[in-house]
Amino acid sequence: MRLLSTIATCNSHGQDSSYFLGWQEYEKNPYDELHNPKGIIQMGLAENQLSFDLLESWLAKNPDVAGFKRDGKSIFRELALFQDYHGLPSFKKALVDFMSEIRGNKVTFDPNHIVLTAGSTSANETLMFCLAEQGDAFLLPTPYYPGFDRDLKWRTGAEIVPIQCTSSNNFQITEPALKQAYEEARKRNLRVKGLLVTNPSNPLGTTMSRSELNLLVDFIKEKKDTHLISDEIYSGTVFSSPGFVSVMEILKERNDTEEIWNRVHVVYSLSKDLGLPGFRVGAIYSENDTVVAAATKMSSFGLVSSQTQYLLSAMLGDKKFARNYIVENQKRLKRRQRMMVSGLQKAGISCLESNAGLFCWVDMRHLLHSNTFEAEMELWKKIVYQVGLNISPGSSCHCTEPGWFRVCFANMSEETLTLAMKRLKNFVVESTCTQRSALFNGTSKRKSLTKWVFRLSSRDHREQEER
């Protein structure tokens, strides 16, 4: 007799992925400048710690908000009591205005069509429950965020079919790859319920082009009863051109029918743009009234606390602060990304040209001893255990090409990033020297063997003549 449920005992959560295993190794031996200077530096966590001072400065100037006061009077009891799971109207209004600001106010969002969730993890899973039956499939372009195997599949029973993207065109989605993924799902007897993309991409750190977005909208227009989910939680981290284009902007430009609008849904979060993953603030935006109603009911399993909503409604409602924060945060991300790229270049390592996100998609294919995922894992283990850097191997992101790694740069100080790049450079130098030495020794042995064979054959020839 089974004591636990199938969900409790199955391994589809993805916790055994190298993406999560790297975290576990870091937690066993975390780097600390004073107490553990030889420990592992965490470069596998996409956190934005570059602009905390801006948030702390605002809180210091607005002590009433942080103290849960309104007009100098405590509203602690009001916030502590039960709140409707539709969310505080003031926060929903402030959140949609912030989302519009990030998009250059080219699109607007109706607060009546937003559903608050406990982070984007909850938002994506909720959409799966709303849109798919158990066994239905969503198509995702590779490489994709490793956590999607958990968020989309674990409890919902939905399936993921990859859209295979390659470095030949900087991992952009193509029509043939999209059609191939659709046919692959059909061969597996899976009903395709839609597409899910991250824009900007995690792990690529790039924004999607208008042509890619139009391709996706054309797809759901052709394939009836399919949906498009655009996870835009990194939309405020775009620091270089080309700028960010939301799928909502594409819909507005195309002037598609209401029926198409009803099948496009946006996921957002304050975890990356504001650097507040611990606050657990996510959202679903949809023009589909049925989806909004169903998602709102489901959100009762993962609500955002009233205290959090009150604080952030005041912070984001300060339009001048919100506008200045977006600009300054992007400047800091750009400077830090350039620092990372420069450090990689000094180590003889290149990366995909990026314009967004909290990470670089790093090309270490030249450091593999063979073009295999086994070689990638060997390299990853050396970097974790010998170099002391936790980075995420491309295979954990379902990349089709061995040797790519996601490396984060915004969750540490400049000093720590400098140390990380120094460690990596030393490793590359040592590895190169080892390879050259092995090559030289191999060549020397071959030369010696050639002489030995020549001498042996000459001796045999003389013996033959003597006979």
Point out the residues that are catalytic.
145, 231, 233, 272
Determine if residue 163 is left, alpha or beta; phi over 0 gives left, psi from -120 to 50 gives alpha, anything else beta: beta
Distance between CA 155 and CA 152 in Å, rounded?
A: 8
Cβ–Cβ under 8 Å, residues 389 and 423? yes
Judged on CB neighbours under 10 Å (0-12, 13-18, 19+), 29 is middle
How many CB atoms are closer than 10 A to CB 5?
A: 8
Determine if residue 217 is left, alpha or beta; phi over 0 gives left, psi from -120 to 50 gives alpha, anything else beta: alpha
447 to each of 438, 440, 443, 456, 457, how far by Cα in Å? 14, 10, 6, 14, 15
Distance between CA 424 and CA 343 in Å, rounded?
A: 9
Cβ–Cβ under 8 Å, residues 340 and 421? yes
Q: CB within 8 A of 464, min separation 6: which ones?
A: none
Helix (H) or strand (E) holding 434: helix 414-466
